[in-house]
Structure 1
């Protein structure tokens, strides 16, 4: 097998901000070709969760997404904070966004958001046995409406392309397969 790895000759940061960092790299391909301006977005890793309540309702969140310019139906989730395990992040995000705590949480998948231009991964979990224990504790700039749907409704939303976030749709597919609802 040929080595397809690129060599990074130099990097220069153009933007360093809490939610996104943009750098431009100069790279050399294995055949010697130099790519002078390759832009890379550095984002923190994320988690998302297919969250099932104790009566098997799926917790979805609806929120406005400014870049898309519309409200989007998604899975609960968010950024993994420094020093936090991916499972801790999933549990924290669930509690903050939904007010639910879960008996079990199981890792499903790890996917790149866009490995051509972004460094981050999304880690997806299936949480079961959820019970409402508190009110939402949202970050500044978050407005989230909780929607409960059945597993059959989730399957229908996924198959009809009604979840607005590609990585959430992927996670939902993994969960539906794990639960025996898709083959």
Structure 2
């Protein structure tokens, strides 16, 4: 697997790069590139800040989930709290804590790294950093963005897994986070 090293024989040479379209949350970039065989072409992709996904557990083991209207698919989506990194975030763990608080009003006693993935690296530079939050209790009001409509609920891990198996939860970030946690746990083995 290549780490993006330009010396790799599969690497494309970047000739020029520009923002073709910009809106709150993401840009569409257009780049002129030279392929390894010398062909010059262009390539478009979605560019966005790195994001955090939080699998939050209450002290009694329930999972805090959100239900949010998703305009692109025109339905309410049950998912884990997710949000983009912001310039004021000290690090990814701080971003996970902030997103949990803003979207759910919960704060965690402990936050542990789970994994990082590139969910659609053929068309986007998106990176998702997954965290497990433990000891989550409601301590604050939600601080929703202007374009968020979110309801907070709790469920059991068994119900969450069943909703994924029954295809009631179709959110890829939630599905990946829950299944990765079930398969591998966190860095400290929990």
TM-score when normalising by structure 1:
0.90
Could you say which residue in structure 2 is the equivalent of 1:68? 73
Could you say which residue in structure 1 is the equivalent of 2:37? 31
Could you say which residue in structure 2 is the equivalent of 1:127? 133
1:45 equivalent in alignment to 2:58: no
Unmatched segments (≥5 aa) in structure 2: 2-7
Give the direction of change, closer, same or farther, for the CA distance of 1:124–1:141 in structure 2 (3 Å limit): same
Per-residue CA shift, 1:96-117, capped at 9, x if unaligned?
Answer: 1111111111111111131111
For 1:96 and 1:146, the matched residues in 2 are separated by 11
The SS at the match of 1:114 is coil
Selected match of 1:77 from 70, 75, 82: 82
Q: CA RMSD in A?
A: 1.8
Higher mean displacement: 1-10 or 123-132: 1-10
Residue 4 of structure 1 deviates from its aligned partner by: 1.2
For 1:128 and 1:163, the matched residues in 2 are separated by 22
Could you say which residue in structure 2 is the equivalent of 1:142? 148
Residue 136 of structure 1 deviates from its aligned partner by: 1.4
Could you say which residue in structure 1 is the equivalent of 2:171? 165
Contact 1:45 1:122 in 2 (8 A): yes
The SS at the match of 1:173 is helix
Contact 1:155 1:176 in 2 (8 A): no
Residue 168 of structure 1 deviates from its aligned partner by: 2.0
TM-score when normalising by structure 2:
0.87
For 2:43 and 2:118, the matched residues in 1 are separated by 18
Unmatched segments (≥5 aa) in structure 1: none
Residue 71 of structure 1 deviates from its aligned partner by: 1.1
Residue 77 of structure 1 deviates from its aligned partner by: 1.8
Residue 129 of structure 1 deviates from its aligned partner by: 0.9
Residue 167 of structure 1 deviates from its aligned partner by: 2.1
Per-residue CA shift, 1:21-70, capped at 9, x if unaligned?
Answer: 112111111122222x3112111111111100011110111111111111
Trace 1:76-115 onto structure 2 (pairs within 5 A).
Answer: 76-84=81-89, 85-115=91-121
